[in-house]
Amino acid sequence: MDSNGGNAVAQTDAPARSYEVRTFGCQMNVHDSERLSGLLEDAGYVKAKPDATPDLLVFNTCAVRENADNKLYGTLGHLAPVKLGRPGMQIAVGGCLAQKDRDTVVRKAPWVDVVFGTHNIGSLPVLLERARHNEEAQVEILESLKAFPSTLPAKRESAYAGWVSISVGCNNTCTFCIVPALRGKEVDRRPGDVLAEVGALVEQGVLEVTLLGQNVNSYGVNFVDADQPRDRGAFAQLLRAAGRIDGLERIRFTSPHPAEFTDDVIEAMAETPAVCPQLHMPLQSGSDRVLKAMRRSYRKERFLGIIDKVRAAMPHASITTDIIVGFPGETEEDFLETLDVVRRARFTSAYTFQYSKRPGTPAAELPDQLPKAVVQERYERLIALQDAISLELNEALIGTEVELLVADGAGKKNAATARMSGRARDGRLVHFRPGDNAGIRPGDVITVDITAAAPHHLIADGVVKSHRRTAAGDAHERGVTPKTAPIGVGLGLPSIGAPAPVAAAVDGCSTGCSA
């Protein structure tokens, strides 16, 4: 049986087995979990009810940080007696940590039934069946991608917002990062397939799409042949083409790389109304010396120059970043350079991390690994500076009107405060009081005035100024989320016509974006 043929699992008259997918890590993992859910439901599984012990528990793992290993193995340890008391229960481990640890998972947790990697998520249903039949663990780790994940069905988590991968893998060699070793070299989807998936989501009511890639702005690296150089405008063209899909109100993307961020992308963002005025631009360090040691192929002034250009084109754009504190050999002077960039760039927010030594990365072997106390002290100074900047920027929005796409589960204190939550077009989280508008649902669109601010969110406690009910809100109210069928059969070169549902969206789109 073909290990990628999830739909080929034999069906029986037995009650449907329930499943739960638990996701650790980045947005790419979240989207992969949607594919896993789609595969399992096509194979006859049903999603387990909240707080119920499922017949199948799938862990989609991350390996970026050291505590990911501890978290997984600790959780698996707690599940051993649960599985012993539930005959027939299965446990599967996939994702980046599975790709890295391979046979180690079964050695440390022999009650795990299936281990699969980042390149063969489509194998899961067949591996589960094989594990049941053979009564032994099945481990299948492929070294390279055989088919793009979009060739698998996906059961989406949200009625109003969707992830769409435009590429997988990464061609960079950052010394702190293990992702290229686990996800492989960059492979790009054909533009027509990307647009077809976006169109399929919009047809089912989705208002917002986030384009995903380890390095989205290098999109088009595979669109080459012997006589044609890489089309460096492919990502900008893709943004413009997606913006022409009728009904798509918001487009976001993550994450670009500063070294390859070009002016045409800034122009496409500014000139395409559906593209949100938001940019996540990973800095990692403000020290040129540390950036060189990280193999980040840009320098401080290049990074700040991009920020200046984005703000010139979109003065109210929200710019966020990633920063690593305590990279091996980082001096106090290096750290002060990072603080200088933070002051000058004035990020809306920053995802800050203490350097985590990852076996298998070049940085793990570097001398001058910093003491935990030094890293912690610098980390706290960075957090204090960024929080102060975030609060100042957010307070400047008090009294302004914002449009929100109402979100589900975005406010942990909403039940106590009688608020709901939504995302502004620039990505900021806003908690608001619905007041007499009891019919507001996740997926609807409202406008409110900002009345208060905190470093990580805004508050709108005044009246809701407008409320637009949407098909996404209708779907959420019914408990229905989109399910997208497999899209595309190939990788790389855009050699065939765009699928019919979005053919009009790609008119006028040249080389890199003409599927």
pLDDT tens-digit map of 147-182: 666 666 777 889 999 989 898 888 888 999 877 777
193: exposed, middle or buried (Cβ count in 10 Å: 0-12, 13-18, 19+) = buried
| ∠ Cα 217 223 226 (to 5°) | 135
Integer Cα distance of 93 and 139 in angstroms: 10
Provide the pLDDT confidence category of residue 306 given band limits of 50, 70 and 90.
very high
Query: Residues at the annotated binding site?
Result: 26, 62, 96, 170, 174, 177
CA-CA distance, 309 to 450, in Å (whole number)? 27
How confident is residue 145, by pLDDT bands cut at 50, 70 and 90?
low
Residue 144 binned pLDDT confidence (cut-offs 50, 70, 90): low
pLDDT (average), residues 402-419: 91
Cα distances (angstroms) measured from residue 66 to each of 117, 353, 357: 18, 12, 7
**pLDDT score for 146:** 63
Write the pLDDT tens digit of every residue in 357-373.
Answer: 887 889 989 989 999 99
Prediction pTM value: 0.79
- The region of weakest confidence among 44-53, 439-448, 481-490 is 481-490
CB 118 within 8 A of CB 182: yes
Confidence of residue 511 (pLDDT cuts 50, 70, 90): very low
On the CB side of 170, CA atoms within 13 Å amount to: 21
Question: How many whole angstroms separate alpha carbon 191 and alpha carbon 236?
Answer: 12
The count of residues in the chain is 515
Q: Please say if the pLDDT value at position 395 is more than 90.
A: yes
Q: What is the pLDDT of residue 277?
A: 97
Residues making up the binding site for [4Fe-4S] cluster: 26, 62, 96, 170, 174, 177
**pLDDT tens-place string over residues 225-270:** 544 555 678 999 999 999 999 999 999 999 899 998 999 999 999 9
Q: What is the pLDDT of residues 28-54, one digit of tens each?
A: 777 788 888 888 988 889 999 988 899
For 9, other C-beta atoms within 10 Å of its C-beta total: 21
Specify the pLDDT at position 488: 62
- Could you tell me if 72 and 112 are in contact, meaning their C-beta atoms sit under 8 angstroms apart? no
- Which residue type occupies 226? A
Q: What is the pLDDT of residue 493?
A: 40
The predicted-structure confidence for 318-337, as pLDDT tens digits, reads as follows 999 999 999 999 999 999 99
Return the closest-CA partner of residue 173 out of 244, 58, 287, 259: 259
In Å, what is the CA distance from 426 to each residue of 22, 280, 325, 348? Answer: 29, 11, 26, 10
Distance between CA atoms of 307 and 486, rounded to whole angstroms? 38
